Structure 1
Amino acid sequence: MKIDINADLGEGFLFDEELMEMISSCNIACGGHTGTDTSMRATIRLAVKHGVTIGAHPSYPNPEVFGREVMNISDEMLKKVIRDQILTLIRIAREEGAYVRYVKPHGALYNKASVDKEMALLLVNIIQQIEPSVALMGLAGSVLEEEAKKGNLIFLREGFADRAYHNDGTLVSRKNPLGVIHSKEQVWEQVQSMIVEQKVISLEENEVPLNLHSICFHGDTPEAVQLLSYVKQQLVKHKIEVKNVI
């Protein structure tokens, strides 16, 4: 069995290289919620060093809340700032002899595109204009998946190792004390269920079917290295290979 493991990196935390050694895809912050040319270049170099697939991680341009709140911004302006973020990462990657293979929206942008058709279409249109061969990564079973497929884009179905789910397949808010999973045993139990049984148990204690390409570990979770290290050990024991999806 195989699974792609991704993490959000280049966000200013101190253990990017430790995480990079254990993942197969990385979502690099490109100036919206955080990220500078310098951090992008450094993270791209780490990805190249470890053979990790590179993805752009654009966001609402509100770093004061780390991209985790929806902005009151026109579609035209939002298109421009997202496009600029992605193109900046593509440019720096090319300068480093690397390529951006996919786009994964961050935070509030990700959550809104999962349930809002207009936001999903906006993201699909941006990628179609930039480079239709670039994949789009998002929540499995979401509105974004539907619109990406209609737009003939490659869609990478994503699940979350360290986040709780509702019955409808959406993520439990971080504002809920149970929204983020901090126990390594619970994280592994969820990851194993996602890979082997293709399902997750919701916060409401129901089975939610999930057929995934990639599983995300958040790089800004304080226990990120410990959680991923434990899961990697378990994956080896269960003969599940961590491998790039594209």
Structure 2
Amino acid sequence: MTDPVIDLNADLGEGFGRWQLTDDDSLLSVVTSANVACGFHAGDPSTMRRVCETAAERGVRIGAQVSYRDLAGFGRRAMDVPPDELADEIAYQIGALEVFARAAGSRVAYVKPHGALYNRAVHDTEQAGAIVAGIRRAAGPLPVLGLPGSQLHAAAQAAGLPAVTEAFADRAYTAAGTLVPRREPGAVVHDPDAVVKRSLGLARDHAVTSLDGERVEVDVQSLCLHGDTPGAAALARRVRDELTAAGVRVAAFA
């Protein structure tokens, strides 16, 4: 039996101008995939360039973290965007990041929606299809990182794009395997010990305990470590060290 393998991804470049939210340099020493904000929910050209350069230097895979156009709400507010317009905005964001990725000697290797767009694409076939259309418009068949069983993954597979499943060690799950909305109590797991324990369970057993105490099976190839929480870099390092000690190989998804 081969040892389990897991990719570690984090949301990076989530600042704007003089405002910096994520400890990009420290997190890029831990993760294997970097979801880089493309300017619609966070990020600016100089930040995108710096993150791409550091990621390329350290062999970290660069992904486009695309979002609704919502700087004020950090991309976490529900929006109704016509499918053609959304597809264009997805393509625009990927194209912007690709410029800096290529300048750094790398490329955009996958796409992950952010915030409200991510959650909307779990159930909304139209918005999921628009995301996939935007990806194909900008970059062809890039892998799509998302929730297992989502409409986003169904749309990606129908269009011939690889679907990469991910899980969240610091987010609460429903018994149905979806994320508990952030507005609800207990939606975010703050206890570092609990995050580490959940990371190990997801990587080794592909399972997590839901908010109401049920065991939930989760098909996971990549584990998301949120970069916008206090102490995120130290926690990410601890998670990686504990995974390695438990015999889990940390590597970018195939």
**What is the TM-score with the length of structure 1 in the denominator?**
0.96
Distance across 2 between alignment mates of 1:61 and 1:235: 36
Which of 23, 30, 33 matches 2:31? 23
Residue number in structure 1 paired with 2:251: 243
Q: Tell me the distance in 2 between the aligned counterparts of 1:24 and 1:229.
A: 12
CA distance in 2, matches of 1:78, 1:147: 15
Of 228, 231, 234, the match for 2:236? 228
1:53 shift after superposition: 0.3
Deviation at 1:82, TM superposition (A): 1.8
The 8 Å contact of residues 61 and 67 in structure 1, kept in 2 or not, is answered as yes
1:37 equivalent in structure 2: 45
Partner of residue 136, structure 2: 128
**Residues 22 and 229 in structure 1, CA contact (< 8 A), matched pair in contact too:** yes
* Identity value in percent: 39
Deviation sequence 1:208-237 (CA, Å, 0-9, x none): 111211000111111312321221221121
TM-score normalised by length of structure 2: 0.93
Unmatched 5+ stretches in structure 1: none
Match of 1:118, SS?
helix
Amino acid at match of 1:110: Y
What residue identity is the alignment partner of 1:237?
A
In structure 1, distance between residues paired with 2:183 and 2:233: 23
Which secondary structure state, in structure 2, belongs to the residue aligned with residue 203 of structure 1?
coil
Q: How many Å apart are 1:238 and its aligned residue? A: 0.8
Correspondence 1:67 to 2:70: no
Q: Which residue of 1 aligns with 2:12?
A: 9
Give the conservation status (yes or no) of the 8 Å contact 1:184–1:226.
no
Match of 1:119 in 2: 127
Tell me what 2:18 maps to: none
Amino acid corresponding to residue 181 of structure 1 in structure 2: V
Aligned equivalents of 1:75, 1:176: Cα separation in 2: 29
Farther off after superposition, 54-63 or 187-196: 187-196
- Aligned partner letter, 1:7: A
Residues 49-89 of structure 1 show CA distances to partners (whole Å, capped at 9, x for unaligned) of 21100000011111100000122332232222221111110
Letter matched to residue 2 of structure 1: V
* Structure 2: 5+ residue stretches without partners: 16-20
Q: State the number of aligned residues.
A: 246
Q: AA paired with 1:4?
A: D
The amino acid across from 2:25 in the alignment is: E
CA–CA distance in structure 1, aligned partners of residues 215 and 247 of structure 2:
25
CA distance in 2, matches of 1:229, 1:123: 32
For the 8 Å contact 1:182–1:223, the answer to whether it is kept is no
TM-fit CA distance, 1:152:
1.1
Contact 2:146 2:165 in 1 (8 A): yes
What residue identity is the alignment partner of 1:89? Answer: L
* Secondary structure of the corresponding residue to residue 63 of structure 1: coil
Alignment of 1:188-207 (within 5 A): 188-207=196-215
Residue 21 of structure 1: SS of its match in structure 2?
coil
- Does structure 2 conserve the Cα–Cα contact (< 8 Å) formed by 1:7 and 1:23? yes
The 2-side partners of 1:63 and 1:81 are apart by 14
In structure 1, the partner of 2:178 is 170
Q: 1:239 to 1:133 in 2, by over 3 A?
A: same
Say whether residues 1:57 and 2:65 are aligned partners.
Answer: yes
